[in-house]
Amino acid sequence: MRILVAEDSPDSRELLTMLLRNAGHTVVGVCDGREALAAIEKGNFEVVFMDEEMPAMSGLEATRAIRGKTLPQVRPPIIIGVSGNAAESDERRCLDAGMDAFLPKPIGMAALFGTLAMVSRGTQETAPAAKASPELGVSSGDLAAHLRRASGGNEKLAKSLVKTFLADAPRKLAALRSAVARKDSERMASCAHALKGSLGLFGAFKAVAAARNIVTIGRAGSLDGAEQEFRTLQEGFRHLRRELLALAPAAKPKRKPAPKPRSRRSTRR
């Protein structure tokens, strides 16, 4: 199948793209709703995985635009909504916008392909939401198991997800810290949303809950409790980072061989 993945989180986009490609599908990834519309105008996609919340144009706006532009004689793509918000109202919002199914994050391999099979057969299906852990983070053993489940046992993909997260998440955290310090509620909500999806991929559910709370606080135009929630999120991120580095420690730099001593032979005859 030709599948389009519209997801603003680099690690979530990479995970979906690689899992679907490994299953034999042709997959194109884009970062927001506008790019999704442009890709659909250029290519014939059978399925679109559409993140609900993206910059520039949300998944809800993009879905409405796709449904509005589809010509009667052209078979419309199946649109599967993807969201870090797993409440029944979130599912209903996606379906009302014109999506065919709903997948809450973090997305497991079984839920991904189960939902794809269901909608391909014309049956609407909602994947079960992941259960949140009450702990601050996960141990290295739990994290390794979580990564295996998320990546379908693909070690190369798991390592790539970790590398992407460790490179990208600190920048997102710094942007959120700056937004909280500046009391910029709109930017705060945007940055926290971007972090929420990434943290959820690795099972850091307490940090995810803190990020979700910051999104809610920011969208309400309030700052009450934002600093405390940020501290919780930051602590969760640091814990997760330590565990990820413990799983895949950086390679030690190789020592350069000592230079060979120069010959002391005299040039005199």
Domain CATH code at residue 89: 3.40.50.2300
Are the beta carbons of 204 and 257 closer than 8 angstroms?
A: no
Range of the domain at 27: 2-120
pLDDT reported for residue 106: 76
In a domain, 19, yes or no: yes
Burial class (CB in 10 A: 0-12, 13-18, 19+), 1: middle
* CATH code of the domain containing 156: 1.20.120
CA atoms lying within 13 Å on the CB side of residue 139 = 2
**Domain-embedded: residue 166:** yes
Q: pLDDT value at position 201? A: 78
Q: What is the pLDDT of residue 265?
A: 52
How many residues in total does the chain contain? Answer: 269
- Write the DSSP symbol of residue 1: -
- Bridge partners, residue 142, by sequence: none
Q: In terms of C-beta density within 10 A (0-12 exposed, 13-18 middle, 19 or more buried), how is residue 96 classed?
A: exposed
Judge whether 232 lies within some domain. Answer: yes
How many structural domains does the chain have? 2
Digit-coded pLDDT (tens) for 91-131: 899 999 999 999 888 787 778 888 888 887 765 444 444 44
The last residue of one of the domains, among 54, 87, 120, is 120
135, part of any domain: no
pLDDT at site 129? 43
- What's the token pair of residue 231? 């501290």
Residues 8 and 42 reside in one and the same domain: yes
Same domain, 154 and 233: yes
Say if 267 falls within a structural domain. Answer: no
**Total Cβ atoms within 10 A of residue 253:** 6
- Please state the φ and ψ torsions of residue 82, each to the nearest 5 degrees: -125, 130
Q: Which residues of the chain register pLDDT less than 70? A: 70-74, 122-141, 248-269
Task: Tell me, yes or no, whether 225 lies in a domain.
Answer: yes
Please tell me whether residues 182 and 102 are part of one structural domain: no
